[in-house]
Structure 1
Amino acid sequence: MNVLEKRIKFNDGNFIPQVGIGTYKLDSENGIDESILAALKAGYRHIDTAQYYGNHKQIAKAIKESKVKREDLFVTSKIWNNDHAYEKAVKAIDRILEELELDYIDLILIHWPTPERLECWKALEEAVEAGKVKSIGISNFLEGHIDELMKFAKIKPVINQFELHPALPCNRLVNHCLKNGIIVESWGTLIRGKCFEIEQLVELAKKYNKNPAQICLRWAYQLGYVVIPKSSKPQRVIDNINFGDFELTQEDMDYIATIKEHRDGPDPNKFEI
């Protein structure tokens, strides 16, 4: 099965490819051109970026070079924290469009739940109405942040992207998103490379003749989460999608659940802007 063909429907009727390529910490010095081109050649059609990553222009260049049609691509970006006040958010949206050289963005997220998050949401809703953005969502929002936004929003968030992996399954937050019709998207799915050091994942990798990264991705994919693995190495970009030819059993999933929980990235409740 080609995992790149699977799409998930948002609550607004639009669709997102379940597997995409992440671009955090990728730039011209760290292999973004080769990475994006290898991904698009391999069949990826979903690219995840953000203002904070500073690589919009390189992504625009790679998209042009790939010759992939715009209508076949799904591009996500995120508004960084110091642009969440309403007027700044409006300008940030236009800047994202300009830097990516696109007429519209498929999905824009609020990057972290700052105090100005509702102002930013208002700007995003207006961008949808103006045709600049197809869908809007959130990133790193916890249950309380979601409840507050759901009371305020005219347009419901379609997705929540947050740290989610076998060592941080976030079951309560996942269930809260699904209860509200919000798709779950995992960042840090490979536990920032630490998956190669975790006994349970290493054992399952041997069982299926895979690597621990592919076990993590299969785990998330099987649970219905959107995944956006990244690598600066073209071969790993291709290896990362080689998890469609096996399925983890319930026993495997239960074994993964025995992994000691830990958060690898910032805590959304303690994140310093």
Structure 2
Amino acid sequence: MSIFDKKIKFNNEEFIPQFGLGTYELTNTNEIDESIMAALKLGYRHIDTAQIYGNHKQIAKTIKKSGVKREELFITSKIWNKDHGYENAVKAVDRILEELELDYIDLILIHWPTPQRLECWKALEEAVEAGKVKSIGISNFLEEHIDELMKVAKIKPVINQFELHPALPCHSLVEHCRKNNIVVESWGTLIRGKCFEVEQIVELAKKYNKTPAQICLRWAYQLGYVIIPKSSKPERVVDNANFDDFELTQEDMNYIATVKEQRDGPDPSNFNF
């Protein structure tokens, strides 16, 4: 089975492709078009975006141009923080559908655990009931945020997308998600581009004749995480998918575990945006 065919089952019986294309910071029209076209041509069928990325409309145009059927695709977006109040969240769902030119979206996430996150969740539950969204989940939620949500949710979150890479393995959070039957999704899997500077990763790249990026992606893939690497360069989009022909040994995985821990993105317990 190729990496493009591997899917993970949600707690609502839907499935998500384990490997997909991230689109964070992709705002240049040509870059979006070339990146997504290269991905779809190669076999990617999972595209991750968000309101705050500002690229929904161009993604819609490129998908339409590609000729790939809607039912073959899995598309994720996220509701940005300023829209987490109930009324704004209801409108945000409709806006996302309109901008992506979709009748439904496969997955919508709450982007960060703002104080209004429970209001937003209620709006997302109603969107599921209305058939606008197939699955709903969370992003950057820590254990305490998950526990709070699980107490009141009528529909349980299917996934938690958070910063997760060899320098931030988040063992406790991963375990907490799995205990609650929530799929784990990694963003920043390449240590936000810093994997090329990490000694352990570079050494393993030489051992396997792979790039440091491919080592990080293989690490996350073997651990069962959903991964969504992004690149504005079509050749890198292709390279990122080339980790299917080798497997890291347990010794290699233990070696990666010696990478010094560091958070590169915002701390979900203390953010202000």
**Global fold match (TM > 0.5):** yes
- Preserved CA contact (<8 Å) 1:30 1:232: no
Paired positions, count: 273
Task: Tell me the CA shift for residue 30 of structure 1.
Answer: 6.6
Are 2:143 and 1:143 equivalent residues in the alignment? yes
Q: Which amino acid aligns with 2:98?
A: E
Any stretches of 5+ residues in structure 1 without a counterpart? none
Counterparts of 1:1-273 in structure 2, within 5 Å, are 2-29=2-29, 31-273=31-273
- Preserved CA contact (<8 Å) 2:29 2:58: no
- Preserved CA contact (<8 Å) 2:59 2:100: yes
Query: What CA distance in whole angstroms lies between the structure 2 residues aligned with 1:208 and 1:53?
Result: 35
Query: What CA distance in whole angstroms lies between the structure 1 residues aligned with 2:193 and 2:161?
Result: 19
Identity of aligned residues (%): 81
Query: What CA distance in whole angstroms lies between the structure 2 residues aligned with 1:142 and 1:168?
Result: 14
Query: What CA distance in whole angstroms lies between the structure 2 residues aligned with 1:223 and 1:210?
Result: 19
Does 254-263 or 26-35 show the bigger shift?
26-35
Alpha carbons of structure 1 residues 186 and 30: separation in structure 2 relative to 1, 3 Å: farther
Q: Which amino acid aligns with 1:211?
A: T
Q: Which amino acid aligns with 2:174?
A: V
- Preserved CA contact (<8 Å) 1:186 1:228: yes
Task: Tell me the CA shift for residue 192 of structure 1.
Answer: 1.2
- Preserved CA contact (<8 Å) 1:84 1:117: yes
Q: What is the TM-score when the length of structure 2 is the normalising length?
A: 0.99
Query: What CA distance in whole angstroms lies between the structure 2 residues aligned with 1:73 and 1:30?
Result: 21
Q: Which amino acid aligns with 1:226?
A: V
Query: What CA distance in whole angstroms lies between the structure 2 residues aligned with 1:233 and 1:258?
Result: 31
Query: What CA distance in whole angstroms lies between the structure 2 residues aligned with 1:6 and 1:249?
Result: 20
Query: What CA distance in whole angstroms lies between the structure 1 residues aligned with 2:128 and 2:2?
Result: 31
Any stretches of 5+ residues in structure 2 without a counterpart? none
Query: What CA distance in whole angstroms lies between the structure 1 residues aligned with 2:187 and 2:271?
Result: 16
Task: Tell me the CA shift for residue 4 of structure 1.
Answer: 1.0
- Preserved CA contact (<8 Å) 1:90 1:123: yes
Q: Which amino acid aligns with 1:228?
A: I
Query: What CA distance in whole angstroms lies between the structure 2 residues aligned with 1:270 and 1:145?
Result: 13
Q: Which amino acid aligns with 2:173?
A: L
Q: What is the TM-score when the length of structure 1 is the normalising length?
A: 0.99
Task: Tell me the CA shift for residue 29 of structure 1.
Answer: 4.9
Q: Which amino acid aligns with 2:180?
A: N
Alignment partner of 2:4: what SS? Answer: helix
Query: What CA distance in whole angstroms lies between the structure 2 residues aligned with 1:178 and 1:145?
Result: 15
Alpha carbons of structure 1 residues 184 and 268: separation in structure 2 relative to 1, 3 Å: same
- 1:215-253 Cα deviation digits (max 9, x unpaired): 000000000000000000001000001001111001000
